[in-house]
Chains A and B, each alone.
Chain A
Amino acid sequence: MGSVSAETVVEISGLEKTFRIGFWRKQVAAVRHASFSVQRGEIFGLIGPNGAGKTTTLKMLMGLIKPDAGSATIFGIDASQAASRAKVGFLPETPHFYDYLRADELLTYFAHLYGMDGKVAERRIPELLDRVGLGQVGDKQLRKFSKGMLQRVGLAQALLPDAELVILDEPQSGLDPMGRRDVRQIIESLRDEGKTVLFSSHILPDVEQICDRVAMMVGGTVRKVGRLDELVDGSLRDVEVVVRGDEAGLAGLAALASRTTREPLGTTRYLLAPEASLDGFLQAVLTAGGSVLSVAPHRQRLEDIFLLEAARKEAP
């Protein structure tokens, strides 16, 4: 983990947004009194199911959507001010670009928008294209790029200003496993360079692997904010035991397990509750003439907390 200072980079306080949709202007609350802060140098994950309000929150932070109430600041500057984005790189969800431009032309255009020096941009653009794995295709028109390649272009433009804060909305969306790994590595390298990263994601194992802190949004509200080790205590959730043996002989074991799944290759998978006796269960397997193929303890993970919160309708 990189060093995290106490300086607040992003501050979101009581943010609210309601959209009016359709002919009857039906009100839909997208974000309800959301509050959290991101400290300098940390990787902060914004997680939640579809429609949780993550993208709306990030768009309010980038000044694309005006909040109905509350405040959002970046480096202490109100997010509605263009100056707040001077040191910020942003990757929108499923980015769209001018498809008639080449990747290097697009980055040159965005360098102009950041007010970058021409010589600095000229040096930095090929470096960035290399960094996101597009060094060989920088001179190709974007219309010839796959979805994954466009996502990489999106990453490159987010890193263009050598930003102190990088905000990524679903950066792994549309990427294959290698692409996901590359994005993970880029985010980690940003932390090593002392940058702050705020990103939203559905891919919880990645969030678990690289985030210092997370905010969990459900139904427009922030349900939980905290360090991963505070949210996920790592306690034993259950123990999985895979057994091979005669189905009739093993029939009595089901009563000892919380769940039993018969598998096609003649194996049976048992889930034991944390309080169940593992020794007793293994003894019972051997007594029934079965053989134990594997024993795997399952500890509580971010996904468990996520599913629990997503299933709960309202905040306590």
Chain B
Amino acid sequence: MKTVAAIALYSFREAVRNKILYSILFFAILLILLSVVLGSASVHQDSRFLLDIGLFSINLFGDIIAIFLGITSVFQEIERKTLYNVLSKPIDRATYFLGKFGGIAMTLAVQLMLMAAALSTTLLFRGGTVDLQLLGAFWLTYVESVMIASFALFCGSFSTPYVSGFITLGIWLIGRLVQELAAFLTKVEEPAARHLLQGIVALAPDLNLFTITTQLTYGYPVGMAYFGAVTLYGLGYIVVAMGAAIFIFRRRDFI
């Protein structure tokens, strides 16, 4: 466990040096601030607008950062050959992989906290409130982004960043549209296509579950049980993705 923590800490240190992450973070915060200007145009709706755009930005940019970190962190170590020095130590490849995942999870936590702080501060300045429901929304966004990162890590365990980025983006899109795809199922007559679609709908994570923006915007309370259930739902996907990634990574040659 100490080894996993050490790898996670050094992975975090490496990740936070990446200028691309700061660019993404900059755009996210810029969008949150811009929503103040846009929101002020609608009478008595600025807080609601700000919340809507702010949570959307955090969610979107959090997932972009997760995909970026997931597809690059292990690949870069292979490309730069720094991996040889690490894997030649008495550590299991699973330990290394979990450490990298831990580093990504830490980086995402810091990035999301910064974005959440930007939104919360702006909300407070505009007369809005920051309550447990909003913190819960931040938490679910975090769980989603960690889950997306685990998918990216899984894809990165057997392919290049471009391919794994493309696949992860595909999973992300399906996850966003999974409810629409389920509704579309009834209209598909071709059995093979229907079975394929059924399989996709059954396996794909429903990312809409992690977004409670509508409930927050219109003041519908979300219970703690929901937060717990969705967290477990996300954890389930993370465990499966990481298990599969470690299974593949253990069999790889590092030439």
Residues of A within 8 A of B (CB): 19, 56, 59, 62-66, 82-86, 88, 90, 92, 94-98, 100-101, 109-110, 112-115, 154, 157
Complex CA gap A59/B84 in Å reads 9
- CB-based contact B6/A109 at 8 Å: yes
Q: Is B255 an interface residue (CB 8 A)?
A: yes
- CB-based contact B91/A97 at 8 Å: no
Q: Is B81 an interface residue (CB 8 A)?
A: yes
- CB-based contact A95/B14 at 8 Å: no
- CB-based contact B90/A100 at 8 Å: no
- CB-based contact A92/B84 at 8 Å: yes
Given contacts A62-B88, A96-B80, A112-B3, 15 further A-B contacts (CB under 8 A): A19-B253, A63-B88, A65-B255, A85-B88, A85-B89, A86-B90, A92-B81, A92-B84, A96-B81, A96-B85, A98-B82, A101-B10, A112-B6, A113-B86, A115-B3
A115 partner residues in chain B, CB cutoff 8 A? 2-3, 90
A59 partner residues in chain B, CB cutoff 8 A? 84, 254-255
Complex CA gap A82/B88 in Å reads 8
What is the CB-to-nearest-CB distance from B252 to chain A, in angstroms, rounded to a whole number? 8
Q: Which of A19, A64, A114 contacts B87 (CB 8 A)?
A: A64
**CB proximity to A under 8 Å, residues B93-129:** 95
- CB-based contact B85/A97 at 8 Å: yes
Q: Is B17 an interface residue (CB 8 A)?
A: yes
Q: Mark B9-21, 1 if CB is under 8 A from A, else 0.
A: 0100110010000
Find the A residue at minimum CB distance from B95: A82
Q: Is B187 an interface residue (CB 8 A)?
A: no
B91 partner residues in chain A, CB cutoff 8 A? 82, 113
With contact pairs A62-B88, A63-B87, A96-B82 given, residues A113 and B255 touching in the complex (Cβ less than 8 Å): no
What is the CB-to-nearest-CB distance from B19 to chain A, in angstroms, rounded to a whole number? 12
Q: Is B251 an interface residue (CB 8 A)?
A: yes
What is the CB-to-nearest-CB distance from A46 to chain B, in angstroms, rounded to a whole number? 16
Complex CA gap A85/B90 in Å reads 5
A109 partner residues in chain B, CB cutoff 8 A? 6, 10
- CB-based contact A66/B253 at 8 Å: yes
Complex CA gap A216/B49 in Å reads 73
Q: Mark B211-255, 1 if CB is under 8 A from A, else 0.
A: 000000000000000000000000000000000000000010111
- CB-based contact A100/B14 at 8 Å: yes
- CB-based contact B17/A90 at 8 Å: no
Residues of B within 8 A of A (CB): 2-3, 6-7, 10, 13-14, 17, 80-82, 84-92, 95, 251, 253-255
Q: Which of B3, B13, B80 contacts A113 (CB 8 A)?
A: B3
18 contacting pairs across A/B (C-beta < 8 A): A59-B84, A62-B87, A64-B87, A65-B254, A65-B255, A82-B92, A83-B90, A88-B88, A90-B85, A90-B88, A94-B81, A95-B81, A96-B81, A97-B82, A100-B13, A109-B6, A113-B86, A113-B89
A98 partner residues in chain B, CB cutoff 8 A? 10, 14, 82
- CB-based contact A64/B84 at 8 Å: yes
B13 partner residues in chain A, CB cutoff 8 A? 100
Complex CA gap A86/B254 in Å reads 20
What is the CB-to-nearest-CB distance from B17 to chain A, in angstroms, rounded to a whole number? 6
Complex CA gap A92/B82 in Å reads 10
- CB-based contact B85/A95 at 8 Å: yes
A56 partner residues in chain B, CB cutoff 8 A? 255
Complex CA gap A94/B3 in Å reads 25
Complex CA gap A189/B37 in Å reads 71
Complex CA gap A100/B17 in Å reads 9
With contact pairs A62-B88, A82-B90 given, residues A113 and B6 touching in the complex (Cβ less than 8 Å): yes
B95 partner residues in chain A, CB cutoff 8 A? 82
B3 partner residues in chain A, CB cutoff 8 A? 112-113, 115
- CB-based contact A95/B84 at 8 Å: yes
B7 partner residues in chain A, CB cutoff 8 A? 113
Complex CA gap A195/B224 in Å reads 60
List the 7 closest A-B pairs by CB distance, nearest first: A112-B6, A113-B89, A90-B88, A96-B81, A85-B90, A92-B84, A86-B90
What is the CB-to-nearest-CB distance from B139 to chain A, in angstroms, rounded to a whole number? 30
A63 partner residues in chain B, CB cutoff 8 A? 87-88
Find the B residue at minimum CB distance from A84: B90
A92 partner residues in chain B, CB cutoff 8 A? 81, 84-85, 88
B14 partner residues in chain A, CB cutoff 8 A? 98, 100
Find the B residue at minimum CB distance from A113: B89
Task: Name the residue in B6, B90, B254 with the highest tally of chain A Cβ atoms < 10 Å from its Cβ.
Answer: B90
A85 partner residues in chain B, CB cutoff 8 A? 88-90
Find the B residue at minimum CB distance from A157: B85
Complex CA gap A219/B188 in Å reads 58
Complex CA gap A96/B87 in Å reads 13
Complex CA gap A154/B92 in Å reads 21
B10 partner residues in chain A, CB cutoff 8 A? 98, 101, 109
- CB-based contact B85/A64 at 8 Å: no
- CB-based contact A64/B88 at 8 Å: yes
A83 partner residues in chain B, CB cutoff 8 A? 90
Find the B residue at minimum CB distance from A58: B88
- CB-based contact B90/A114 at 8 Å: yes
Complex CA gap A96/B253 in Å reads 18
Complex CA gap A114/B253 in Å reads 22
Q: Which of B2, B80, B92, B254 contacts A64 (CB 8 A)?
A: B254
